[in-house]
Structure 1
Amino acid sequence: MKFSTLPIALILFACIGQGCVSSKKYKDLQSSYDDLKNKTKDLNQKYQGSQQDLSGSSSRVKSLEEQIAAERANTAALQAALDKCLSSSSQGNVNISKLVDEINSSNKYIQHLVNTKNKSDSLNVVLTNNLTRSLSREEMRDVDVQVLKGVVYISLSDNMLYKSGSYEISDLAGATLSKIAKIITDYKDYEVLIEGNTDNVPIAQTNIRNNWDLSALRASSVVQALQNKYNVDPKRLTAGGRGEYNPVAPNDTEAGKTRNRRTQIIITPKLDQFMDLIEKAPEPTTKP
């Protein structure tokens, strides 16, 4: 739309030409005409600006409508994909649920094992402390007590336990063995392995063939003393000999040989308890 000033100008000239207006009135009309012309110009400019704004707004609206349509299409595609995934993986969800149950069961089993181990470690510490407190300073010179990997090792020197060159228990060993037997009796959930060890010097006795025999006979002597003199349940006891083949020091010195001539009382949790734990382990049910 555009405003025209031509008819107004013609009227003015016609009036002037006919002498129908005075000079003053003509000036007033001319001033009004100029004002009207300026206003018309402003209106035209505003109109053009409004047209441009309207065009820009229309473009933005169109762009937004296109974006909305695209997002709706994308949402529909995602929903379809989700529906398809849920439909096709219903069986997979069941397997995942079973797997989660198995993981939870395994975690409980692992925690049970950890608790069992912690309990065993605590008992080992108490057992060791009770034993060392019961032994005198003199006895501790011939007795070494250690806990290694959850097992209590009581190492007794050859000089204290046996008569020289023999597997018979000496009188000096009685008091020490009685204290060890009390500890063994108090802790009924432990198995006891008596293990004989020698140095590498061949035995020279007609009734003992070699160091295998000597180590086994010495272990057997300790087992029978624990059973017969100190009433330890023989079902918990095992005797074994390792001869010269489990040294703890080189045999090229007298000090080393002395250390190797030892009998170890090895106290361990009962194996059937561990087997029970293994049997209670959860078995996987889901297939890979």
Structure 2
Amino acid sequence: MKKVLLLSLSAMLLLSSCVTKKQFTDLEAKQKETQDLLNSATVKLNSCLEERAAATAKATVLESQVNDLRKNNDNLQILSAKGASSIEKTLESIKEKELKITRLQDAMTKKDSMTLALVTSLKREVGINDPDIEVNVEKGVVFISIADKLLFQSGSYNVTSKAKEVLAKVAKVINSKPDFEAMIEGHTDSQSYQKGVLLDNWDLSVKRSTSIIRVLQDLGVNPGQLIAAGRSSYVPLVDNNTAENRAKNRRTRVVVLPKIDQFYDMIEKEMKNLEAAGK
């Protein structure tokens, strides 16, 4: 009875330190919402650029007409006060729209620049010649994929001493990007797993995530930038039909992304400005 009670308490302490599946799903939904917003912003931006080009061409013609009329005193009276006012308002409207477009472009360029700088830093620090470590970008999100054999012994969630050397490089990059968050995703193969208080691959994947997070925290990473997550065996790279394929699926992904709330608010604000200007 005492052993059962101890195991139950251990499981509660272990699982309480990890994010729930609902919290993780909410994070993924927030990321997708932001990506959809980015796509919408890009479409809106392209439309605004086309409108600006047409309006600028129109304004150029109007300005040329105004200059010609002003040079010719005999024809100056043709330009009515109403017409001049309309031209001035058109030019002012173009300038305002250009300012809003510039702000939206700056927001998206800033995000792209941060992503490019992050990839460059990661490839320089982590290295790109190791086949067991990959640095890639998917849908604007940067991630590092580390093979299971570099991090853990088979069936274990204790980080190896060799892994700490790799994680020290990852920690250096994360520490240099305080405006980014790092989500540590544990992935397993499809082989059933149960050991001690761990019930299945869900438990193992999340426990491996929190083990890596503790190492990163010991290496000086701000815990406020870290998110623990486990994907179990449900996002495989390849079929789990051979030992070699299962080894590929056992991995940890460090997903590095701008703080979603800050970036979402920035883009949403500029989208609203553009919509208001178009009314």
Decide whether aligned partners of structure 1 residues 116 and 168 sit closer, same or farther in structure 2, where only a CA change above 3 A counts: same
Q: Equivalent of 2:168, from 175, 178, 192?
A: 178
Quickly say closer, same or farther: Cα 1:213–1:283, change in 2 above 3 A.
same
For residues 55-101 of structure 1, the C-alpha deviation after alignment (integer angstroms, 9 at most, x for no partner) is xxxxxxxxxxxxxxxxxxxxxxxxxxxxxxx9xxxxxx9xxx79x95
Which of residues 209, 212, 219 in structure 1 aligns to 2:209?
A: 219
User: Deviation digits for residues 8-36 of structure 1, max 9, x if unmatched?
Assistant: xxxxxxxxxxxxxxxxxxxxxxxxxxxxx
Larger relative contact order, structure 1 or 2 (CA cutoff 8 Å, min sep 6): 2
TM-score of the pair, normalised by structure 2: 0.61
Q: How does 1:204-243 map to 2 (within 5 A)?
A: 204-227=194-217, 229-243=218-232
Distance 1:255 1:111, change over 3 A: farther
When residues 287 and 131 of structure 1 are mapped into structure 2, their CA distance, relative to the original with a 3 A threshold, is: closer
Pick the aligned partner of 1:147 from 100, 116, 137: 137
Deviation per residue, 1:111-165 (Å, 9 max, x gap): 4333222232223222222222223577x23211001222111001111111221
Aligned partner of 2:52 in structure 1 is: none
In 2, Cα distance between the equivalents of 1:263 and 1:245? 13
Which moves more between the two structures, 241-250 or 252-261?
Answer: 252-261
Q: Distance in 2 between matches of 1:260 and 1:250?
A: 8
Greater CA drift, 126-135 or 106-115: 106-115
Q: What amino acid is aligned across from residue 244 of structure 2 in structure 1?
A: A
Q: Which amino acid aligns with 1:181?
A: A
Q: Distance in 2 between matches of 1:266 and 1:167?
A: 19
Change (3 A) 1:104 1:191: farther
Give the match's secondary structure for 1:196.
strand
Which residue is equivalent to 2:238?
A: 249
Q: Helix, strand or coil: the match of 2:240?
A: coil
Asked if 1:282 is matched to 2:269, the reply is no
Distance 1:207 1:151 in 2: 34
DSSP-derived class of the 1:172 partner: helix
Query: How many corresponding residue pairs?
Result: 195
Of 108, 133, 148, which residue of structure 2 is paired with 1:117? 108
Q: Separation in 2 of the partners of 1:110 and 1:197?
A: 41
Q: Is the Cα contact below 8 Å between 2:183 and 2:255 reproduced in 1?
A: yes
Cα distance change on mapping 1:135 and 1:163 into 2, 3 Å: same
In the alignment, which residue of structure 1 is the partner of 2:58? none
Partners of 1:116 and 1:283 in 2: CA distance: 13
Any stretches of 5+ residues in structure 1 without a counterpart?
1-85, 87-92
Gap change, CA 1:260 and 1:287, over 3 Å in 2: closer
Q: Distance in 1 between matches of 2:101 and 2:220?
A: 37
In structure 2, the residue matched to 1:169 is: 159
Q: Given residue 105 of structure 2, which amino acid in structure 1 is its aligned partner?
A: V
TM-aligned CA deviation for residue 189 of structure 1 = 1.0
Residue 183 of structure 2: SS of its match in structure 1? strand
SS of residue matched to 1:133:
helix
List structure 1 runs of 4+ shifted beyond 6 angstroms: none
Unaligned runs of 5+ in 2: 1-81
State the SS of the aligned residue for 2:263.
helix
TM-score (norm 1): 0.59
Closer/same/farther in 2, CA of residues 286 and 264 from structure 1, 3 Å limit: closer
- Give the stretch that moved more between structures: 210-219 or 121-130: 121-130
Partner of 1:133: 124
Whole-angstrom distance in 1 between the partners of 2:122 and 2:274: 41
Q: Quick check: which has more Rg, 1 or 2?
A: 1
Distance in 1 separating the partners of 2:276 and 2:103: 21
Tell me the alpha carbon deviations over residues 201-243 of structure 1, each in whole angstroms, 9 at most, x when there is no partner. 111313210111011111111111111x211111111001111
How far, CA to CA, are the matches of 1:124 and 1:283 in structure 2?
25
1:251-266 counterparts in 2 under 5 A? Answer: 251-266=240-255
Aligned-pair RMSD on alpha carbons?
A: 3.1
Q: Distance in 1 between matches of 2:151 and 2:278?
A: 58
